Copies of this chain bind each other. A is one copy, B any other.
Amino acid sequence: MKHLNFDLILSALERVLPVRKEPLGLHEPSFQGNEWQYVKECLDTGWVSSVGKYVDRFEAELAEYAGVKKAIATVNGTAALHICLKLAGVEAQDEVLVPTLTFVATCNALSYCNAIPHFVDSDETTLGVDPVKLRKYLEEKTEIKAGKCFNRETGNRISALVPMHAFGHPVDLDAILKLCQDFHIELIEDAAESLGSYYKGKHTGSIGRVSALSFNGNKIITTGGGGAILTQDESLGKLAKHLTTTAKTPHRWEFNHDQVGYNYRLPNINAALGCAQLEQMDRFLKTKRALTEKYKMMFQDVPGVRLFTEPKFAESNYWLNVLLLDEPSFENRDRLLELTQARGWLTRPAWKLMHHLPMFQTCPKMDLKQAENLEKRIVNLPSSTFLGANYV
């Protein structure tokens, strides 16, 4: 292992990032639009909770923005994922294909359905599911019976694949969709990080049967905490709304619930924030792209590292910029994290790989070499929209 030239990396970062008294977060929210006006209206009218015009408006505007038939606002991205799995028909004891390089929410949502994560490898060009490697693996390991895909070894059904657009960068959706069709597997996009990211001109989350968004405080837009389910299927959209609102059937006064439901409603006051944030997406995307360009330029002559950039088929929201070390090394990665954090820049590594977490260690998995390689090479850089404002 070669040691990185940390001085060169730090001086590149110095030319992009401000030095502040308080630490510089990885992705700080920006409230420069109608946030206060909309939130104040909620307080003034008393409509802060689960019913209110901002929820309806946010859902309509999200659907339009993402080019889908229906968007259903939820209390967070994990809740959205949970319902997506139910909508796609994932059942207890099913296996669901997920990248090992993802945030834990993807796998937790599976556990809520008593389903089993089946870990798949990632691709260096997208940082997400590698469809070529996965196809070979499925050809070898699965069989189709009565139009359903089964794991030959465990005998369990494999009912869905949940690719995640890591750090906002789209996976190769055409190849993945084809794979899902060929193997009779439902496609659920974990688009938690990719609002504003496009695959061949289509918004991420508009291609899977159902998809999940997140508006957590660190995302490109935030509702405090929040998420959404996206779908092109009107009837699934209706069911999503029903399941997320305690499965209550309409009546003037009676409390009829027709199945076990969830209280996954996004409060109106949080939806108000979302409406104001969504209005600013164009600006956010422009400033983030400008920041990425700046980073790219600053790092182009720094040996041993490169800035990750979108694959040709994609237009990324560049939610979190990724500095990729050429050589896999926990030592170099951690030293870089230490040095940058000491300057008050809150960098971070990729998530710990899911198959290394204690509760998922015994889950089925394919060879995961590339994810293990990427884990040692990824460092996320501060990526707040305001950082790019000077470079637009």
A248 closest partner in B (C-beta)? B104
Tell me if A137 counts as interface (CB < 8 A to partner B). Answer: no
* Chain B: minimal CB distance from A81 (Å): 10
Q: What B residues does A47 contact at CB under 8 A?
A: 217
Tell me if A168 counts as interface (CB < 8 A to partner B). Answer: no
Tell me if A364 counts as interface (CB < 8 A to partner B). Answer: no
Contact bitstring A45-65, B, C-beta under 8 A = 1, else 0: 011111100000000000000
A216 to B36, CA, bound (A): 22
Tell me if A321 counts as interface (CB < 8 A to partner B). Answer: no
Tell me if A40 counts as interface (CB < 8 A to partner B). Answer: yes
* Chain B: minimal CB distance from A253 (Å): 5
Q: Which of A257-311 contact B (CB under 8 A)?
A: 257-263, 265-270, 273
Q: What B residues does A351 contact at CB under 8 A?
A: 255
Q: What B residues does A7 contact at CB under 8 A?
A: none
Question: Are B108 and A255 closer than 8 Å at their CB atoms?
Answer: no
Q: Which of A186-229 contact B (CB under 8 A)?
A: 216-218, 222-225
Q: What B residues does A114 contact at CB under 8 A?
A: 114
Q: What B residues does A224 contact at CB under 8 A?
A: 42, 48-49, 267-270
A349 closest partner in B (C-beta)? B253
| Contact A218-B337, Cβ < 8 Å, known A76-B75, A108-B262, A259-B358 | no
A75 to B35, CA, bound (A): 21
Question: Are B357 and A267 closer than 8 Å at their CB atoms?
Answer: no
Give the number of times this chain occurs in the complex, counting copies.
2
Q: What B residues does A39 contact at CB under 8 A?
A: 39, 43, 269
Tell me if A77 counts as interface (CB < 8 A to partner B). Answer: yes
Q: What B residues does A268 contact at CB under 8 A?
A: 217, 224
Tell me if A29 counts as interface (CB < 8 A to partner B). Answer: yes
Question: Are B78 and A262 closer than 8 Å at their CB atoms?
Answer: yes
Which of B46, B50, B218, B349 interacts with A225 by CB under 8 Å? Answer: B50
Which of B79, B261, B359 interacts with A260 by CB under 8 Å? Answer: B359
A358 to B131, CA, bound (A): 43
Which of B35, B43, B258, B337 interacts with A253 by CB under 8 Å? Answer: B337
Question: Are A263 and B105 closer than 8 Å at their CB atoms?
Answer: yes
Contact bitstring A304-324, B, C-beta under 8 A = 1, else 0: 000000000000000000000
| Contact A257-B357, Cβ < 8 Å, known A108-B246, A269-B270 | yes
Which of B48, B107, B111, B260 interacts with A222 by CB under 8 Å? Answer: B48
A28 to B44, CA, bound (A): 12
Tell me if A135 counts as interface (CB < 8 A to partner B). Answer: no
* Chain B: minimal CB distance from A77 (Å): 7
* Chain B: minimal CB distance from A203 (Å): 24
Question: Are B31 and A46 closer than 8 Å at their CB atoms?
Answer: yes
| Contact A263-B352, Cβ < 8 Å, known A48-B29, A49-B217, A103-B255 | no
Closest 7 pairs between A and B when the two form their complex, measured CB to CB: A49-B217, A224-B267, A78-B263, A225-B267, A224-B269, A255-B351, A111-B260
Chain A interface residues (CB < 8 Å from chain B): 28-31, 35-36, 39-40, 42-44, 46-51, 75-79, 103-105, 107-108, 111-112, 114, 216-218, 222-225, 246, 248, 252-263, 265-270, 273, 337, 341, 347-349, 351-352, 357-359
- Contacts beyond the supplied A31-B48, A108-B246, A260-B359: 17 A-B pairs with Cβ under 8 Å: A30-B46, A35-B43, A39-B43, A48-B222, A48-B273, A49-B218, A50-B225, A75-B76, A104-B248, A104-B261, A108-B263, A114-B114, A217-B267, A253-B337, A253-B348, A254-B352, A269-B273
